[in-house]
Amino acid sequence: MTDGVLAGVGAPRSTAEPRSTAEPEGRSRSGFDPDVQWWRGAVIYQVYVRSFADGNGDGIGDLAGVRTRLQYLADLGVDAIWFTPWYVSPLADGGYDVADYRAIDPSFGSLDEAETLISEARNLGIGTIVDIVPNHVSDQHPWFQAALASKPGSPERARFWFHPGRGKDGDEMPNGWVSNFSGPAWTRTQNPDGTPGEWYLHLFSAHQPDLNWSHPDVRAEHEAVLRFWFDRGVAGVRIDSAMLLMKDPALPEIPAAPGPGEHPNTDRDELHEIYRRWRAVADSYSGARILVGELWLPDIERFAKYLRPDELHTAFNFDFLARPWDAASLKDSIDSTLAAHAPVGAPATWLLSNHDVTRPVTRYGQEDSSFAFATRRAGVPTDLELGRKRARAAALLCAALPGSLYIYQGEELGLDEVQDLPADQLQDPMYLRSGGTDPGRDGCRVPLPWAGSRPPFGFSPAGATGESWLRQPSRWAELTVEAQQRDPHSMLSLYRTMLRIRRSDPDLGDGQLQWLPSSDSVLAFARGERFICVTNLSRAPIELPAGCSVLLASSELTADLLPPDATAWLHPERLQTQDRTLRCPTEGGE
Ligand code: GLC
Ligand code: CA
């Protein structure tokens, strides 16, 4: 990278080396081990298969490509890989429209190859997490095709939400629900004779009809799908849109301010029973098989209910990435997250990005650095240099917090959101259904740059003629894995060192934190007695506590001061955290 401001992984008082990569006092975690509670402090890397690596040269990522890059992930230091849906799918929503939950999409590979991949990863100490999509199926799924071919009131239709329309001729939707991808949540069918028929519900695109989770077939089928993948050795499942499965059968309008559990299609109390059954399935297997919920819920107490000991193991903590780059707000998010998790005994999770949200380098380079779907917008002034600095600081902050850590592919390369993709390449239904007012999520799904100076940057094998399915920006020549591997100050080097320290330090990952006294715009906490994390969100450099050596810093220290928008990991050499002489930290020059 040429970006001077990013320089300085290491700090003057020590090098970027962790204090020890050996196993201190024999307490080090060993990475993925199905026989222990590996998931409580795990580092899980999200592979968006279409955009990770293309093995056969057609411009679309695939399992062959992933297999050639497994060593890269082992070297990065991850414990598990979560694969976004790899099943047979017309890809109307990037694979979240599944036509067959037991087969791999031919553009990605075959079931045999998936099994090989699972065992190759396991041999490298990496577990596999698959993505289960229970709320809806593809409109090409045999169940939905059978439902369309059957009459109103038929058993085939009972697995979905078919409903007659309102008004004269039934030409008004059954209710006014709006799709999560904007536009109506209902689409009208056609009868075999061409006349308009019933409507069906889809909380996402019209290609994703919602299943009726009160129907025993739906429950039995998904439990069988869980077993199908657990039988193939997967270490866990990520549950897509986990808060949406149950609906109020009366299909009422959505109240202006629904009370807890009163929303007609979100976070309904009946969901817990479903996840208790899933937990029983997972627990019937040897080794820890985990259930990870995708739960976008503003009410953190309600969120934590899903993490009771007989329900899900963990769930994505989206609150943190929805916060602005502000010390008080981030501290509040950390405290409320940890407080909500404590009573149920579940570890928190930390993430800065996934395939649905704006890349952190771009987000943190904007005035409003919080993420919300409703405020996703293109054309906002962005300072990528500032964004990259903050994304580095945020990475070290997250990786030091108690619990498990998710990394979305390309985050470790500091990729920015690609906001100028040609309109004819955009595929996200969020973009298409909003008539282009929402730029959609394609910009965070652009294929990874691996090597070389020109697109496709090694994403496809040498000699491949096809373009990658989304065009990579030429500026990514500086951000390829190859370029960053050579540069000790690169984002990739920062992530590698960060994960190496995290893995070798038994105080990191699962556990507790202890806040240290600091000024308001600084976050400082200890993990155990030998690790301190300090993030400077003020506008001035700050002093670090005396008697500490620097293990790792996200920006170069100047005259032993930690600059703004930076995080340092420290090792208190002489001091214990109980030692009240540790005052951490004060703004420089005071
Ligand atoms: C989840 C996925 C997202 C998908 C949606 C519908 O939010 O993360 O990518 O579009 O569910 O399945
Ligand atoms: Ca391919």
Q: Domain locations in the chain? A: 1-21+513-590, 38-135+213-495, 142-201
For residue 241, the CA-to-ligand 1 centroid distance in Å is 6
Per-residue pLDDT of the chain in tens (590 residues, 90 and over written 9): 222 222 222 222 333 333 333 333 333 444 677 667 899 999 999 999 999 999 999 999 999 999 999 999 999 999 999 999 999 999 999 999 999 999 999 999 999 999 999 999 999 999 999 999 999 999 999 999 999 999 999 999 999 999 999 999 999 999 999 999 999 999 999 998 999 999 999 999 999 999 999 999 999 999 999 999 999 999 999 999 999 999 999 999 999 999 999 999 999 999 999 999 999 999 999 999 999 999 999 999 999 999 999 999 999 999 999 999 999 999 999 999 999 999 999 999 999 999 999 999 999 999 988 988 877 777 789 999 999 999 999 999 999 999 999 999 999 999 999 999 999 999 999 999 999 889 999 999 999 999 999 999 999 999 887 799 999 999 999 999 999 999 999 999 999 999 999 999 999 999 999 999 999 999 999 999 999 999 999 999 999 998 999 999 999 998 889 999 999 999 998 655 444 334 445 544 33
Among candidate residues 294, 319, 356, 556, the one labeled active-site is: 294
Outline where DSSP puts E strands in 345-469.
349-351, 404-408
Instruction: Give nearest CA residue, ligand 1 atom 6.
Output: 96
* Of 105, 46, 95, residue with least CA distance to 204: 95
Which ligand is nearest the CA of 241, by number?
1
Torsions phi, psi of 241, nearest 5? 45, 45
CA-441 nearest atom, ligand 1: 9
Q: What is the 96 CA–ligand 1 centroid distance (Å)?
A: 6
Burial class (CB in 10 A: 0-12, 13-18, 19+), 374: exposed
Three-state DSSP state, 498 = helix
Residue 335 CA to its chain's centroid (Å)? 21
- The residue contributing the CA closest to ligand 1 atom 7 is 241
Fold classification of 142-201 is Oligo-1,6-glucosidase; domain 2 (3.90.400)
Cα–Cα distance between 228 and 370 in angstroms, integer? 38
Q: Treating both helix axes as pointing N-terminal to C-terminal, what angle do 384-400 and 491-504 enclose, rounded to 10 degrees?
A: 10
In this prediction, residue 34 carries a pLDDT of 64
Pairing of strands 100-104, 87-88: antiparallel
**Ligand 1 nearest-atom number relative to CA 355:** 9
Closest protein CA for atom 2 of ligand 1: 240
> pTM value?
0.93
At 82 the three-state DSSP class reads strand
Angle, CA 504 vertex, CA 499 and CA 506 arms, to 5° = 115
* From 49, 82, 84, 96, mutation site for ligand 1 pocket: most ligand atoms within 8 A of C-beta: 96
- How many whole angstroms from 210 Cα to the centroid of ligand 1? 13
Q: Which residues pair with 535 in a beta bridge?
A: 523, 567
Ligand 2 centre to CA of 291 (Å) is: 29
- Ligand 1 site-directed mutation target among 47, 241, 265, 296, most atoms within 8 Å of CB: 241
Q: What CATH code is assigned to 38-135+213-495?
A: 3.20.20.80
395-428 in b/e form (b: 16+ CB < 10 A) is: bbbbbbbbbbbbbbbbbbbbbbbbbebeeeebbb
Which residues, including other chains, have CB under 8 Å from residue 225's CB and lie 6 or more apart? 101, 102, 132
Long-range (24+ apart) CB contacts under 8 A made by 16-19 are 16/488, 16/493, 16/497, 16/552, 17/497, 18/497, 18/500, 18/501, 18/504, 18/505, 18/551, 18/552, 19/501, 19/549, 19/551, 19/571
Residue type, 61: G
**What CATH number matches the domain at 1-21+513-590, 2.60.40, 1.20.1250, 2.120.10, 3.40.50?**
2.60.40
Residue 294 is among the residues annotated as catalytic for this protein: yes
Which ligand is closest to the CA of 464, given by its number?
2
Amino acid at 46: Q
Q: Which residues contact 227 (CB under 8 A, 6 or more apart)?
A: 281
Question: Which is it for strands 314-315 and 290-293: parallel, antiparallel or unpaired?
Answer: parallel
Predicted local confidence at residue 153, as pLDDT: 97
469 CA to centre of ligand 2 in angstroms? 10
Ligand 1 centroid to Cα of residue 131, in Å, is 10
> Is 529 among the catalytic positions?
no
> Which residues are near ligand 1 (CB < 6 Å)?
93, 96, 133, 204, 240-241, 294, 355-356
Q: What is the DSSP string of 122-150?
A: HHTT-EEEEEE--SB--TTSHHHHHHHHS
The single residue of 240, 311, 417, 428 carrying the catalytic annotation is 240
Spatial contact of 386 and 402, defined as CB atoms under 8 Å apart: no
